[in-house]
Amino acid sequence: MNGYSFGVNMGRHRTGLVIGALIGLTGGISGVFFGAAIGYYLDKLIRSVAGAESWTQAKAQTAFFDATFCVMGKIAKADGQVTAEEIQYAEAVMTRMQLTGELRKRAIECFSQGKSAQFDLNQVLEPLRRALVNNVSVRQMFIEIQLQAALVDGEFSPSEGRVLTEVCQLLGISQQEFEAVAQRMKAEQSFHQGGGQGQFESAGGLGLKQAYGVLGVDQACDAKTLKTAYRKLMSQHHPDKLVARGLPDEMMQIAKEKTQEIQAAYDAIKKSRK
């Protein structure tokens, strides 16, 4: 085991290590090491029994990939009929992911499964929920993709809203978290539907309003609040971080586009405040 792997392994079981070490304090230095060792193996055993150890990065990425297109199909069918715009959006996502051959075929099959009246959301989201326990950034990315699918016609309908609500409940995403993401996605969608290509300042006052919306802040916010929101979103959407936490490699381009959009919004706001 190399140094990096050793560090990751120790970090994964740090709760057991700390508790065991504290219990062993009464036995001096040797007691601390002995307690930490016992705590480590007990923590590992508990996680193994609970299935936590089985969720490798590859499995998390597979769960994300399948759920992405299945839920996208479910949302597209929510109003009763899949529109040309919804199909085009799904195809655009596949193109941005550079999916070809078997992977593209798999994405299409998942989209078709999601459209089925018998499709069970829990069946595809439970593996994703288990894979993304305590992984807020990747879960948020998943919701952003689904919100964009629902917003292709400008606004998500009540039936699409019900699907999104169920998705959030199954993934453990609060209503407050969902609404915050929804507001940002609406601002981004509004800008693009108005012909914007990432240059908010060129769209005048409306573009600036949407830029603030993309960052999820009020136009009257101070510089510190603005910078904090910007840094938080950039960290949450960092492509390498997201892939390491379960985002499929093929979706790295989508994550990059997100960071570029956030950067463009922040730059436009800063320029307008000079």
Q: What is the DSSP letter of 152?
A: T
Tokens at 60, concatenated = 């998390």
For residue 169, the one-letter residue type is: Q
Q: How far is Cα 92 from Cα 105, in angstroms, rounded to an integer?
A: 14
Looking at every residue in the chain, the average pLDDT score rounds to 80
Confidence bin at 8 (pLDDT 50/70/90): very low
pLDDT, tens digit (0-9, with 9 covering 90-100), for 259-273 = 998 998 899 898 888
Using left for φ > 0, alpha for ψ between -120 and 50, and beta otherwise, residue 244 falls in: alpha
Q: How far is CA 254 from the centre of its chain?
A: 11
For residue 76, the one-letter residue type is: A
Does the pLDDT value for residue 18 go beyond 60? no
Q: Do residues 179 and 154 touch, judged by C-beta distance below 8 A?
A: no
> Which residues lie below 8 Å from residue 261, measured CB to CB, with a gap of 6+?
188, 198, 214
- CA nearest neighbour of 251 among 109, 140, 142, 101: 142
pLDDT, tens digit (0-9, with 9 covering 90-100), for 171-193 = 988 888 899 888 888 888 776 65
What pLDDT does 105 receive? 96
What pLDDT does 67 receive? 95
Confidence bin at 239 (pLDDT 50/70/90): confident
Q: How far is Cα 184 from Cα 218, in angstroms, rounded to an integer?
A: 11
What pLDDT does 5 receive? 37
What pLDDT does 51 receive? 46
What pLDDT does 93 receive? 92
pLDDT, tens digit (0-9, with 9 covering 90-100), for 21-56 = 455 566 566 655 555 566 655 655 555 444 444 457
What percentage of residues in the chain have a pLDDT greater than 70? 74
pLDDT, tens digit (0-9, with 9 covering 90-100), for 110-169 = 999 999 988 999 999 999 988 887 788 888 899 999 998 998 877 788 999 999 999 999
